[in-house]
Amino acid sequence: MFAYTIRRVITGILLLVVMSVVTFYLFYASSTTPERYACGPKCTAAQLETTKKSLGYDEPTYVQWGKFAKGVAVGRTFPDDPELRKAAPQLVQECPAPCLGFSTGYSAPVRSLIQDKLPVSFSLAIAAFVLWMVGGVALGITAALFKGRLLDRAIVGLSLVAFAFPTFFIGLLLLKFVSIRWGLIKLPAYTPLTENPWLWATGMILPAITLAVVYMAGYIRITRAFVLETMSEDYIRTARAKGLNQRTVIGKHTLRAVLTPLVTLSGLDLAGLLGGAIITEQVFNFNGVGKLSVTAIQRFDLPLIVGIVLLVATIVIVANIIVDLLYAVIDPRVRLG
Sites of contact with other proteins (CB under 8 A): 30-33, 36-42, 44-47, 50-51, 53-54, 79, 81, 83-84, 87-88, 90-91, 93, 105-107, 172, 175-176, 180-181, 183, 187, 233-235, 237-246, 253, 256-257, 260, 282-283, 285, 287, 291-292, 294-295, 297-298, 300, 330-333
User: ∠ CA(142), CA(144), CA(150), 5° rounding?
Assistant: 75
* Closer by beta carbon to other proteins, 153 or else 176: 176
* Closer by beta carbon to other proteins, 45 or else 150: 45
Alpha carbons 208 and 87: distance in angstroms, whole number: 50
* Closer by beta carbon to other proteins, 42 or else 60: 42
* Closer by beta carbon to other proteins, 62 or else 177: 177
Least distance CB 284 / other proteins (angstroms): 8
Least distance CB 13 / other proteins (angstroms): 31
* Phi, psi (degrees; rounded to nearest 5) at 33: -120, 100
* Closer by beta carbon to other proteins, 294 or else 336: 294
User: Any bridge partners for residue 78, and if so which?
Assistant: 93
* Closer by beta carbon to other proteins, 278 or else 306: 278
- Check if the beta carbon of residue 70 is closer than 8 Å to that of residue 99: no
Least distance CB 45 / other proteins (angstroms): 4
Query: What is the distance, to the nearest Å, from the Cα of residue 309 to the centroid of all Cα atoms in its chain?
Result: 11
Least distance CB 161 / other proteins (angstroms): 22
- Helix and strand totals (H; E) in the chain: 15, 4
Q: DSSP strand E in the chain: where?
A: 76-78, 93-95, 102-103, 108-109
The three-class DSSP label of residue 96 is: coil
Least distance CB 103 / other proteins (angstroms): 10
* Closer by beta carbon to other proteins, 86 or else 198: 86
* Closer by beta carbon to other proteins, 47 or else 115: 47
Least distance CB 251 / other proteins (angstroms): 13
Query: What is the distance, to the nearest Å, from the Cα of residue 246 to the centroid of all Cα atoms in its chain?
Result: 38
| DSSP secondary structure letter of residue 211 | H
Alpha carbons 272 and 286: distance in angstroms, whole number: 17
Alpha carbons 72 and 53: distance in angstroms, whole number: 22
Q: Rounded to whole angstroms, what are the CA distances from 66 to 10, 21, 101, 317, 332?
A: 20, 10, 12, 23, 45
Q: What is the DSSP string of 278-293?
A: HHHHHHHT--SHHHHH
Least distance CB 108 / other proteins (angstroms): 8
Alpha carbons 111 and 141: distance in angstroms, whole number: 42
- Check if the beta carbon of residue 123 is closer than 8 Å to that of residue 191: no
Least distance CB 174 / other proteins (angstroms): 11
